[in-house]
């Protein structure tokens, strides 16, 4: 991309990498590494017109989440608790993520680099 005169990279991490997540220390650390790598790469390549950003999904209703919560009553309580904690009162859906990626990949984001966008229904907003 540097040799070509620029480009855009959008990495996918997780809000667990931004704010931590109980019981997921290794996962959070790995996602935090993606965030730190992306910000460093953004600094190193900005003068070459390469923009690097990160999209961090929050809890998203996927097969992975279903396997984590399990199928029983306890799993349903975890699932319902997650929904209650999210200001929009629902878990993310896989189709909630691509819009942020498309935006950061578009010409509308030509002046954005080194940013981390949370797609979490407001769960991890900071005031």
For 33-52, the DSSP string reads HHHHHHHHHHHHHGGGTEEE
Active-site annotation holder among 2, 6, 25, 27: 27
Helix (H) or strand (E) holding 60: none
79 catalytic? Reply is: no
Distance CA 117, CA 12 (A): 10
55 bridge partner residues: 12, 117
Q: Which residues are catalytic?
A: 27
């Amino acid at each position: 991309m540097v040799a070509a005169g620029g480009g855009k990279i959008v990495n996918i991490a997780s809000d667990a990498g931004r704010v931590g997540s109980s019981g997921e220390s290794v996962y959070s650390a790995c996602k935090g590494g993606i965030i730190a790598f992306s910000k460093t790469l953004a600094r190193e390549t900005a003068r070459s017109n390469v923009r690097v950003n990160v999209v961090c999904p929050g809890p998203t209703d996927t097969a992975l989440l279903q396997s984590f919560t399990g199928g029983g009553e306890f799993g349903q309580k975890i699932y319902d608790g997650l929904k209650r904690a999210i200001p929009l009162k629902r878990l993310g859906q896989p189709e909630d993520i691509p819009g942020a990626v498309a935006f950061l990949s578009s010409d509308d984001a030509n002046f954005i680099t080194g940013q981390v966008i949370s797609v979490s229904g407001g769960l991890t907003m900071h005031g």
